Structure 1
Amino acid sequence: MFIKDKIFKEIVWRILGREKVGELKYALNFVISTLKRVFLKRKKINLYQSCKITVYKSKKKYGQIFFGYHDLNPINRRRNKILAHELPFSTNSKNNGKEVSVGYFDLGSPSEYIEFGKTNAWSWQMGARLRWLDESRVIYNSIVNGKYGSVIYDVDLKSNSESIEVALYDISVCGKKGLSLDFSRLQTYRPGYGYSCDIIENNLLNGGVYSYCFESKALKEIISLERLSKFECDFPPNDLQYINHLKFNKDGDRFCFFHISVCSMSGKRFTRLITSDFYGEKLFTLINKGTPSHFCWISNTELLVTVSNNGSVGYYKYIDLNRKYDKIEFHYGNLDGHPMYSQEDGIFVSDTYPNSLREQVLYSIDDKNYSVLKKCSFYTPYKFKGEVRCDLHPRIDSGLVVVDCATNNKRELITVEWL
């Protein structure tokens, strides 16, 4: 039966063309999910507990608001401002590399977006790596002297304070160390995560991991792809390799990242989660079985990771430099998501990808007994898929959860405060 189905699919693809088949599948799924939602009387936002929802949106006709990836916190330490990007155009992969705005809202004033800069160095999933450096200074990736770089803006002084000729992926909590990679290479092999501006980067064309010191302004390649290809493995020389998801631990003395190899023959991806110190030494392969997809640091030595193994997804706690792990069993624990941990609240939040009703679930988990404490769901229209999908990417700050959402057919930033 499997062989017959495969032959039938191949015949249909050859007659109609793969693109046409994709369009028909898209239309059919749209009709089915719409009928399901009407029959079940589903709302765009479904709340299962009492909570306060605030929607931060653009005043422009086609304007969209979003923040980016789940590993950064858009709320400042004073807890009175929330960072965001504003897109002056509709969702379309052809808009990659077009200029977008960076700015903020005063927390609690969802209709008053305040712009402080513009950038072409952004992506649908990661944004411009916009983040707070301290109570008043913000840093984001941009074009500096014709190359990918970073701009530091002081919200209190209302002026740019510094420009750096290197685009940064992550920055230590102390604000003295940075990590970078080849954003063009990343976009080529993982569309939606890197940048697609037609420029040459700052000596990052080897595709490895780079360190940056804010005090000395020194940029240095600390881990090359050639070295990684021979580290505890032996990848074929024709395989494509790239780095993604660099992230410091709490103290900034170690960081982790994904090393991905793509088979040149089959296109199959092999992903490893590796940790290192800031100097590119003491490399340690934390996960080399299964496919790690998302993670967050819980402490200086412990990580929470989602891993897919033989089609089954699970949440695991790993110890750095050890490989010991514990699997977390809970409802939604078999669905991939973007976990973020809050030591202050003793919980972690995560999300799901759209189900058959095109609903993404946001939930919080007690870190002691792993029970689901709170949850709500958001409808996501079908056009938000692939490179331009809108994942919730939840971040938590003192009980306030921030998500990106496309419930109203365009990107908006939503805060959820469970009461």
Structure 2
Amino acid sequence: MTNRRHFLRTSVASLFASRLGLTAQEAEQAEVTIRQITRGPKYHWFAYYDKLQFSPDNRYVLGNEVDFEHRSPTAEDKIKVGMVDLQAGDKWIELGESHAWNWQQGCMLQWVPSTESTVMWNDRQKGKFVCHLLDVKTQEKRTLPHPVYTLSPDGKWGISPDFRRLNDTRPGYGYAGVPDPNQDVLVPEDAGIWKINMETGEQELIITFAQAAAIPYEGGFSPNAKHWFNHLLFSPDGSRFIFLHRWKGDGDKTFNTRLFTAKADGTDLYVLDPLGKTSHFVWRDNDHVFAWAFHPSHGDKFYLYKDKTREVTVVGPEKMPRNGHNTYVPNTNNEWVLNDCYPDKQRMQTPYVYHIPTDRRVDLGHFYSPAFYTGEWRCDNHPRSSRDGKLVCIDSPHSKGRQMYLIDISKIVGL
């Protein structure tokens, strides 16, 4: 890989046809263009897959910059946050820094919905986690006194789990530097999920750990189970949100999981998946959730859940057989799924798109992940779509450390 702008154009005819059984015509029509948009000597990545990474006009792509890999962040470690200008030679533009971050989700850097040029990210100042809001055009900056995980579609509200607790219970998802005051409390009553007013910075505790743990779990919780929350996401209209309730106790080899939905104010809690293995998810619409989970009908697969019901439908059981980071490609009427998978036996990671109506899958490339990218500091592809559905950005460590790559999928999905 050189330091010059890197373009890799490969046709599906040569790279994917034999694996996918495509006709020659289909192969010729589906060209994949991959471009490296960040370079060393420092490392760059965006992290999670369910945030807005692209600016509304597709010119800027957000990312994080760090000068080390292969160990857990400490309270002293900081990262730079910035954006890549795709129309100016992939120039890196620094926006600020963060002392509150992790490998899997960065510092929650993302564009604020319903704004043209405002971004947000979490930080640590004076012993507390905070959230910065920056207009990248005017450079006007505000700081809220609380961290934020995800934003409502109108950008007016945020919700957040306890990042202090996550740093102990799920390394790679919390932030170092602020100890959990409930570290020795299995089921706290004064912490859980907070709702934050993004204008005033005021926050309200809307769901507690004790509240969730009081809802019965079939078979009962393990003895001495310690509870936490993770992975929050608003529905498309902002009326409800989803989150994972997790716990681990005596005798548990790994954590257990329940998938909850709730109204935006934390009321009307509903256990959407009670079976203990929910993983990655996204809302399809205001009434359905698309998630990797276990269900007796097909085992570990992707499923479509209808909220507040027990209606469950398997999705892509043959073409999407492995866990990944799933979203819907915008502007495709939820017909195309964007996904990836963890490294296979050859340590290859494969982002891909899948067409639900025709059961057709198109791989977007196969990216080598060296064996030392594992556990907490692994580098998942975490594919993210542009808002018009034409472009995808992934993180990959296949060439001298984690960097970001741009993939044009417009021809494949017909945009």
Pair in the same fold by TM > 0.5: yes
Please state how far the C-alpha of 1:261 moved relative to its aligned partner: 1.2
Deviation string 1:247-298 (CA, Å, 9 cap, x unpaired) is 1011111000000010134344210000000111110000011401100111
Asked whether 1:392 is paired with 2:381, we answer yes
Find the counterpart in structure 2 of residue 155 from structure 1.
136
Please state how far the C-alpha of 1:402 moved relative to its aligned partner: 1.1
Q: Aligned partner of 2:107: which letter? A: A
TM-score (norm 1): 0.83
Asked whether 1:378 is paired with 2:355, we answer no
Correspondence 1:113-128 to 2 at 5 A: 113-128=92-107
Structure 1's 110 and 56: CA in aligned 2 closer, same or farther, altered over 3 A?
farther
Of residues 281, 290, 306, the one that matches 1:319 is 306
Asked whether 1:187 is paired with 2:167, we answer yes
SS of aligned partner of 2:267: coil
Of residues 80, 86, 100, the one that matches 1:107 is 86
SS of aligned partner of 2:376: helix
Please state how far the C-alpha of 1:197 moved relative to its aligned partner: 1.5
Find the counterpart in structure 1 of residue 151 from structure 2.
171
Q: 1 CA distance for matches of 2:164 and 2:171?
A: 10
Q: Aligned partner of 1:224: which letter? A: T
Find the counterpart in structure 1 of residue 405 from structure 2.
414
Q: Aligned partner of 1:84: which letter? A: G
Find the counterpart in structure 1 of residue 392 from structure 2.
401
Please state how far the C-alpha of 1:50 moved relative to its aligned partner: 2.2
Deviation string 1:169-219 (CA, Å, 9 cap, x unpaired) is 111010111101110211211111111124578xx9944111112245321
SS of aligned partner of 1:368: coil
Identity of aligned residues (%): 28
Q: 2 CA distance for matches of 1:413 and 1:205?
A: 41
Q: Runs of 5+ in structure 2 lacking a partner? A: 1-13, 17-29, 182-187
SS of aligned partner of 2:51: coil
Of residues 266, 291, 294, the one that matches 2:277 is 291
Find the counterpart in structure 2 of residue 23 from structure 1.
none
Please state how far the C-alpha of 1:364 moved relative to its aligned partner: 0.4
Give the conservation status (yes or no) of the 8 Å contact 2:65–2:81.
Answer: yes
Correspondence 1:258-407 to 2 at 5 A: 258-308=244-294, 312-345=299-332, 346-397=335-386, 398-407=389-398
Find the counterpart in structure 1 of residue 185 from structure 2.
none
Find the counterpart in structure 1 of residue 27 from structure 2.
none
Deviation string 1:334-367 (CA, Å, 9 cap, x unpaired) is 2111101124123111011101111011110113
Q: 2 CA distance for matches of 1:113 and 1:296?
A: 30
Of residues 198, 218, 222, the one that matches 2:206 is 222
Give the number of equivalent residue pairs: 370
Deviation string 1:5-43 (CA, Å, 9 cap, x unpaired) is xxxxxxxxxxxxxxxxxxxxxxxxxxxxxxxxxxxxxxx
Give the conservation status (yes or no) of the 8 Å contact 1:347–1:365.
Answer: yes
Asked whether 1:139 is paired with 2:120, we answer yes
SS of aligned partner of 1:298: strand
Structure 1's 110 and 254: CA in aligned 2 closer, same or farther, altered over 3 A?
farther
Q: 2 CA distance for matches of 1:245 and 1:97?
A: 25
Q: Runs of 5+ in structure 1 lacking a partner? A: 1-45
SS of aligned partner of 2:212: helix
Q: Aligned partner of 1:298: which letter? A: R
